[in-house]
């Protein structure tokens, strides 16, 4: 490379003070913390590792048996962007025909938490069927609070659900 060309290549179009000002500005902006917002990433509680709704429990089994059953991998159905598993073909067919009847209310979030404005994922082993609707709870304490007055708890959760739903990422 010729000395003239080398000299042109090493020159900067920006004065050193502009570079310094830009660097200081960048570091100042980087040090300002971004606002923190708490949000979950699903409108329906889904296991992030498996992609299964209700951790693979059969939603229909809550209505037909004394205890919920774990679904089988060969009996899956995709609905509302998540995968649901079923214990038998009859349960899968019932769900496919009427998913809104069998899906947990409030997307599987704890109704007591929703009534407080938070989206706490429900645990499929902590549940109640009230007025023909399935509810999942985050804790046994939450389940007890709900069951003390289910109608009032459902009303409070349903009133806050649209607000909570807006915090969830589609």
For the chain, how long is the longest CA-to-CA vector? Answer: 88
Q: For the chain, how are helix, strand and coil distributed in percent, rounded to 5? A: 45, 20, 35
- What are the DSSP E strand ranges found in 80-149? 82-86, 123-130, 133-137
pLDDT of residue 38: 32
What pLDDT is attached to residue 42?
82
Give the pTM. 0.75
**Tally of CB atoms within 10 A around 164:** 22
Cα gap 157→154, rounded to integer Å:
5
Backbone angles phi, psi at 16, to 5 degrees: -55, -30
- Ranges of residues in the chain with a pLDDT under 50 are 8-14, 16-40
**What pLDDT is attached to residue 3?**
53
pLDDT digits (tens, 9 = 90+) for 87-104: 999 999 999 999 999 999
């Amino acid at each position: 490379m010729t000395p003239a060309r080398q000299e042109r290549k090493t020159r900067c179009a920006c004065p050193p003070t502009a570079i310094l000002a830009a660097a200081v500005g960048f570091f100042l902006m980087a040090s300002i913390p971004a606002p923190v917002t708490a949000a979950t990433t699903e409108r329906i509680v889904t296991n992030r590792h498996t992609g299964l709704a209700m951790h693979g429990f059969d939603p229909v089994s809550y209505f037909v048996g004394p205890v919920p059953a774990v679904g089988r991998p060969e009996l899956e159905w995709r609905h509302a962007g998540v995968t649901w598993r079923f214990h038998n073909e009859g349960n899968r067919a019932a769900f496919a025909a009427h998913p809104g009847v069998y899906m947990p209310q409030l997307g599987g979030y704890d109704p007591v938490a929703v009534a407080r404005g938070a989206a706490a994922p429900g645990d499929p082993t902590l549940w109640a069927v009230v007025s023909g609707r399935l509810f999942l709870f985050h804790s046994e304490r939450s389940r007890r609070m709900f069951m003390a007055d289910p109608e009032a708890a459902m009303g409070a959760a349903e009133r806050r659900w649209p607000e909570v739903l807006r915090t969830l990422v589609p």
